[in-house]
Structure formats: C-alpha cells, structure tokens
Structure 1
Amino acid sequence: MDASMLKNLRNLKLSGVIKTLEIRNEQAIKEKLSYIEFLELLIDDEISSRKENSYKKRTQKAHFPAFKTLEEYDFNFQSSLNRQEIYNLATCEYICKKENIVFIGPPGTGKTHLAISLGIKALQQGYKVLFTTVSEMMNILFESKADNSYHQIIKSLNIIYLQTY
C-alpha cells in the first residue's frame, strides 16, 4: 500500500480497511476474487471494525464497576427470582417500550450483577448505557442546576439508566 492510498484511507476514516487491506489483497489474488467480491470483503471488515470500536467506546462510557454477564449469574442463589423474566429483560424489549426496571432488595442479592449484565446486553444491541448510583446522579443534576447545564445533562442522558437500591 503506497503512502498516498494510506493517506486517502485515513482521510476517509477507513481504519478497518487499512487493517485488512494487504491480507484481503493476498486473499483476492489467491482465490481469484472479482473486484466486487474483494470490495465486499473490505466493506465487511470496515463495518466489523466500526461495530467493535463503537462497542468498546460505549462500554468504557458505561462506567460499569465490574464486568458481569447474565450467563455468570447464579440463579440458584436467588431462587425467588423468575429466570424467564430476567432473560426476557435481556432482549431489551423494555427499552423500545420505554419501560423502567428497578431492582430492590438487601445487599448481596445480585441486584448490581443483574443491572450490569442487562446493561451489557443493551450495549451488545447497540444502545448507550450509563451505570451510576442514585446519589451520583442526584449530585450531577444538582450541580447542573447551579451552572445552568441541566437541560444539556438531561438531553445527554437519553440513554439507558441502570440503578440499584
């Protein structure tokens, strides 16, 4: 790949193509791919790269205190929990319906684990998530009232809000 092409790919923000161009070119030569097939591979690589980068950025911005998956949750520990209901929540249908989820219970019952795991499921489906405590959120909102950024904060919070009590 020459410097001019690399510069053009960078200007077009095609980092996924940059990563795989040489490998895909070798593949195209070996497998005698058509120009269209070669281009399709590069486009697929770019899409995959963007999805992966988006997921990584959204995961960092979610501020999860730990990485906990639904598959790791021990439903035997909390026998009163309806497993099917939790798995239904993992489809993220409640987001489309604009419904809220609140986990209430004593410490150590798995509320945070479930909130994080549902947040991760939402991230995997392309949603933005913010994990925070109620007190942190209240502080942010009170401070935003003082500096007149309240409406901007509310607008930026047009994301899934996970909290536990």
Structure 2
Amino acid sequence: MTPERGWGRLDKAAFGLIYGAIMVLSILMAIGDHPETPVRTAVVLFGSVLAVTLAKAFAELMAHALDTGARITRAEVRAAWRHSSPTLAVANLPTLFFLGAAAGLMSAERAVLASQILCIGLLATLGVRVGWTIDRRLAPSLLGGLFAGAVGLALALLKHAIH
C-alpha cells in the first residue's frame, strides 16, 4: 500500500483539518482579546486540541467495538489515530505563534491574528478543493472556498464582537 500523495493526502485529512481549524478558532474566541500570557495560551490551545483529538480517537474505538462486538486491535488504534491526528496538526503552527510571542518575536495579539488567518486560509483551501472535486470547474471551487473561508471568518469576527 503506497501512502497518499498531494491532493489525495489532503483529501484524506480534510475531516480532521476542518475540525481542527474550527476548534482552534473557537479556543481563540474563548481566550479573550488580550491573552494572559503567550506560554499559557500556547499550552491551553495545544492541550485543548490534544484532549479533543484523543477523545475523538477513543470514541471511534469504543463505538467500533460496540458496533462490531470485536476486541480493539493495534491496527484499529493506529487507524483511529491516523484519522484523528490531522485535528491536532492544525494546532501546531498557532502554538508556535504563541511561543514566538513568548520569545518576543511578535505580540500575543499578532499571534492570535496569525492563527486566525492560518485557520481561515486552511478552511478556504479545503472549500476550494471540495468545489473542484465535485464539479471540476473554477466557479464552484471559488464558491466553495468563499463559503468555507466565511465560516472561519465568522468565528474570528465573533471573537472580536464578544470581546
């Protein structure tokens, strides 16, 4: 079995990437306008996404065992982690942005903005991919990107409206 390459790899990870991007945007919404300390924000962000990623993988394993009545194997654990891990991958760069803020490379506010832009861009990219995969035409691709990006943008704007 050869590993997925290019768009196929992105397609396989799409669920987790979308889930992770929305989760990061939601956590950023909850941390407020001026994060306490960048290190604490990095730990809370990464830790929260890790916890949800592990919960997702665990829930998949338990549900599968209930559905099939079969014991959980190492292969099923690996498959559940492979399906869930893209969710955690989305938190990597935002976590690094906040660690960069802690090191004085940028402000915490800039780390929030960079994280939001990253997540919105990721959602828009996946929206373009969905539009292209379905219709193989430019207009649906752009509309898909616009729609998915707008979901992320709405979450980012909601953060600013709340705080």
For the aligned pair, the TM-score class normalised by the smaller chain equals: 0.3 to 0.5
Kindly name which structure, 1 or 2, has the bigger radius of gyration based on alpha carbons.
Answer: 1
TM-score by length of structure 1 reads 0.32
Instruction: For CA contacts below 8 A with separation 6 or more, give which structure has more relative contact order.
Output: 2
Higher helix residue share:
2
